[in-house]
Structure 1
Amino acid sequence: MKDLPYDSALARILDSVYLVDQSTRSLSGKHSAVIISSDSQSRNLKLIDSLYAQYGWLAYSQVGHKGAMAQFLVIQHSDLQTQKKWLTRVTKAVNECLLQPENLALLTDRILVQSGKKQLYGSQFRVDPKKKNMCHLT
């Protein structure tokens, strides 16, 4: 990672990525978020790849909380292959105190569940519509 001061231009770009990512996922219905976000997800992933190639993992001090979280959320909401590709980079960011450890736990569990394996941290849930309660994904 290059040691950069706070960059308001990068922060604004990543803030908008964060807002789009979160707003599409907060819409009612699982599929509406998928439809709306597929194009933006692809664009956002290209942006995150490009920024990582240029700067490494951008810290909170460089792009603010939303900007730093946007990087993780784009990866967390990507396909399994992309998540696996980024796992080492996310681990490195956590080890360098650039990202909170719970984010690594979320990504690790998501990869395991999507790979048909048991979660390590128990962070992945689904809502049982009949019982209206949360259940761990296996």
Structure 2
Amino acid sequence: MKLLSVFLFFIVLSPVAFCESKIDSVLLKSIMMMFKEDQKWRIESRNLINGKKSLYNEATINKNTGRVDSLNMIEAKKIISKHGFPGYDLVGEDGSKGFWAIIQHCDEDLAFQQRALVLMSKQVKRHNASGENYAFLQDRVLIGQGHKQLYGTQVSIDLKTHYAKPLPIQDSLNVDLRRKTVGLSPLNDYLKLFDRR
């Protein structure tokens, strides 16, 4: 009887073991290195905008941001071709979110961003990627296509008043309902994050 119960225990657990995925540490390391470079120049840019010290002038920051974005896009295309949109099961939460940030900055190739958005949608439906980040990318793609956004994540900042306002939104009366469904804070709270007065 003991043998039978051990055997049944193995049968019950074995599908779980076979379904577990292993983090691709090489891919994760590559994505995190790309993300680190992506953020380095954006942090320097934010420092300049906010009147903080930076080791670089605006021209150098802009040049390096463009260079890094171009190089990252080349690598991101290779990753998408081989793996699709890397979800939590492949590169963990940090890796998946880092990859999303890289895609956010691939504005030079809107068709590629759209492709990544479709692939990310599949991962979000599986709860294998961030719904919040998906909303940001969807808005970015819509704005890039010349359409109104859905979630109000894309904003402009008035240089005189320093107030942020969202770029045009579809059905703006229900924007907070849509934001809530993907885990975003209310729009007014989000806009306060940009307040530099």
TM-score band by shorter chain is 0.7 to 0.9
Structure 1 stretches of at least 4 aligned residues deviating more than 6 Å after TM superposition: none
Q: Which residue of 2 aligns with 1:93?
A: 123
- Structure 1 residues without counterparts, runs of 5 or longer: none
Q: Which residue of 2 aligns with 1:45?
A: 73
Higher relative contact order (CA 8 A, sep 6+): 1
Aligned residue-pair number: 137
1:64 partnered with 2:92: yes
Q: In the TM superposition, what is the alpha-carbon distance from 1:14 to its structure 2 partner?
A: 1.1
Checking the alignment, whether the CA contact within 8 Å between 1:5 and 1:62 is kept in structure 2 is yes
- In the superposition, the TM-score normalised over structure 2's length comes to 0.60
Q: 1:86 to 1:6 in 2, by over 3 A?
A: closer
Q: Matched residue of 1:135: which SS?
A: strand
Cα distance in 2 for residues equivalent to 1:51 and 1:112: 23
After superposing the two structures, state which structure 1 stretch, 25-34 or 120-129, moved more: 25-34
Cα distance in 1 for residues equivalent to 2:138 and 2:25: 31
C-alpha RMSD over aligned residues: 2.4
Checking the alignment, whether the CA contact within 8 Å between 1:18 and 1:66 is kept in structure 2 is no
Q: Which residue of 2 aligns with 1:78?
A: 106
Q: Matched residue of 2:94: which SS?
A: helix
- In the superposition, the TM-score normalised over structure 1's length comes to 0.82
- Structure 2 residues without counterparts, runs of 5 or longer: 1-19, 50-57, 169-197
How do 1:84-123 and structure 2 match up within 5 A?
84-123=114-153
Q: Give me the identity figure in percent.
A: 29
Checking the alignment, whether the CA contact within 8 Å between 2:158 and 2:164 is kept in structure 1 is yes
